[in-house]
Structure 1
Amino acid sequence: MTLDVGALRSLLCERLCEDVGVDERPDGELMLRTHFCFPDGDGYPFHLAEAPSGGLRLSDCGHTLMHISYEHDIDSFLTGTRGMLLERIVDESGIHHDNGVFSVDTSVDRLPEAIFRFGQALTRVYDLTLLSRSNVGSTFYDDLADCLSALVDEARMQRDYQPEVPNADAYPVDYRIEGKSGIPLFLYGVPNRDKARLTTIMLGYFHRHDLSFESIIVFEDQAEIPRADLARLSDVGGDMISSLESTEDLHRKLLMRIAA
C-alpha cells in the first residue's frame, strides 16, 4: 500500500479545522471547541481572552479542579505527593496555576501549539486522580495522615515512634496513639505485600518482648494482600481496616481504644 501524503495532509487540515473552532457565548466570552474531554464525556472548558501583557490567554477558569472535586478531596491535590506532582506538571508544561485556575499565555500565531500543550497539561492534572486507586505507597501514607489528623488530636499521636525494645530504631511504629488505661495503640499503614510482611515481623517482635500495646492495621486495599501474608499478619495484629474508604469503621475502632 502506497500512502498518499498529500491526501493525508489535506484530510488532517480539513478535519482539524472542523473539530477545533472558536464559539462566542451570549455574554460575548470566547470558548474553544476541541475534542479534549474528561472521562465522563464533558469537554475541557477552554476560555479564550486577551492576555494582560498582550497576545492571548487560554484558561480553564478553575473548571478542572472543580470537576475533580466532584469525586475527590481537592485539598489532597494541593498538598503532599499529589501537590508535588501538580507543581511538576505546571513547571514542565509551562502553564500557570493561580488559586485553582490553570492558564497559558500565547501569541496569536502560536495558538494551535498552545491548545495542544494546554490540553495535554490538563489531562496530566486530571490523571493525578488515578493515584488514589493505585498502590503508590507515598500517596497512601499522605492520605492516611490526612485521615488520622481529622480523627485524632495531634497532641495524642506520635509518628515513627520507637518503642522500648532492643534495637528500637529498626522497629518503628507508623503511629503511636494514646490509648485507654495507659495502653498505647500502634497503628500501621499497609499499602502492599512488602509492608504487610514487615508489619508482621515488627508486631511479632513486640510480642516476643512482652510489650503491652493494641494495634490497628489500615490497608490501602486488603484484597490485594496475598492470603498467606494476610493470615500471618492477622495472627499478630489487632483490628484491620480494609481500606481508607472505610472511614467510619476506622473512626469507630479508634474511639474504642484511644483516650477520651
Structure 2
Amino acid sequence: MAFDIESLRALLCERLCEDIEVERRPDGELMLRTHFTFPDGDSFPFHLAEAPAGGFRLSDDGHTLMHISYEHDIDSFLTGKRWILLEQVIGENQICYDGGVFYIDTSAERLPESIFNFGQALTRIYDLTFLSRTNVGSTFYDDLATTLESLVGESKIYRDYIPDVPNAEAYSVDYRIEGKNNIPLFVYGILNRDKAHLATIKLAHFHRHNLEFESIIVFRDLAEIQGLDIARLSDVGGEMISSLDSKTYLSRKLEKRVA
C-alpha cells in the first residue's frame, strides 16, 4: 500500500490543530483545550501565560492535585514512595513543581511538543492514584505511618520497636505508641497473608511471656485475608481495622488507648 506522505502530513496537521483550541477566559487568562482528560471525563486544565524568562508557561494551576484530592489523601503523594515516584515523573518529563502547581516553560517553537509532553506528565502523575488499589506494600506502610502520625503525633510513635521479651530482635513491633496507664499500644500493619502469620506469631510470643500491652491490627484489605488466618490473628490480637479507608474508626480506637 502506497502512502501519499504529503497528504497524510496535511491531514494530521489539520486534525491535530482542530483538537487543540485556545480560549480566553473572562478573567483574561488563556486556556488550552485538548483531548487529555481525567478518568471521570474532566479535561486537563492547561493554563497558558508568559514565562518570567520569556516564551510561554504551561501550567495546571494546581488543578491536578486538587482533582486527585477529591478521592485520595493528597498528603500521601508528597511523602514516602509516592513522592519518590512523583519526583521521577517530574524529572523524566522535565516539568517543574512549585507549591502544588505543575508547569513547564517553553519557547513558541517548541510549544506543540511541550503540550503533549505536559499532558503525558499529568497523566502519569494521576496514575499514581492507582497505587492505592494494587499490591504495593511500600506505599501501604508509608500510608499507615502517615495516618498514625496525623492522629496521635509523631513524638508518641516508635517504629520497629523491640519489646522486652526473650529473643526480642526477632519479635519487633511495627509501631509502639505511648498508651494510657503505662500500657503500650502495639500497632501492626497487615499487607498480606504472610504478614498476618508473622503478626500472629509475634503477638502469641508476647502473651506467652506475659508482656502487658494492647494491640490494633490494621489491614490493607481485610477481604483479601480470610478463614483461619483471621481466626488465629483475632485470638492473639486486639482491635482490627479493615483498611486505612476506615480512618475515623481507627481514630476512635486510638483515642481510647493513647495517652
1:123 equivalent to 2:126? Answer no
TM-score by length of 1: 0.90
Call closer, same or farther: CA 1:3–1:136 in 2, change over 3 Å: farther
Q: For 1:99, give the aligned amino acid.
A: G
Call closer, same or farther: CA 1:38–1:153 in 2, change over 3 Å: closer
Q: Which runs of 5+ in 2 are unaligned?
A: none
Aligned partner of 1:204 in structure 2 is 204
Aligned partner of 1:166 in structure 2 is 166
Aligned pair count reads 258
1:68 equivalent to 2:95? Answer no
In 2, distance between residues paired with 1:3 and 1:205? Answer: 75
Deviation at 1:9, TM superposition (A): 4.1
In 1, distance between residues paired with 2:229 and 2:207? Answer: 18
Name whichever of 84-93 and 205-214 sits farther off: 205-214
In 2, distance between residues paired with 1:101 and 1:95? Answer: 10
> 3-state SS of the aligned residue for 1:109?
coil
**Identical amino acids, percent of aligned pairs:** 70
Q: Which runs of 5+ in 1 are unaligned?
A: none
Call closer, same or farther: CA 1:203–1:61 in 2, change over 3 Å: same
Aligned partner of 1:101 in structure 2 is 101
Call closer, same or farther: CA 1:221–1:53 in 2, change over 3 Å: same
Call closer, same or farther: CA 1:116–1:153 in 2, change over 3 Å: closer
Q: For 2:171, give the aligned amino acid.
A: Y
CA contact (8 A) 2:149 2:157 kept: no
Name whichever of 23-32 and 35-44 sits farther off: 23-32
TM-score by length of 2: 0.90
Deviations 1:81-138, CA, capped at 9 Å, x for gaps: 2222211111111001111111111222211211111001111111122222223222
Note the aligned Cα RMSD (angstroms).
2.0
Deviation at 1:254, TM superposition (A): 2.2
Deviation at 1:222, TM superposition (A): 0.6
Aligned partner of 2:238 in structure 1 is 238
Matches within 5 A, 1:43-54: 43-54=43-54
In 2, distance between residues paired with 1:252 and 1:28? Answer: 48
In 1, distance between residues paired with 2:2 and 2:39? Answer: 33
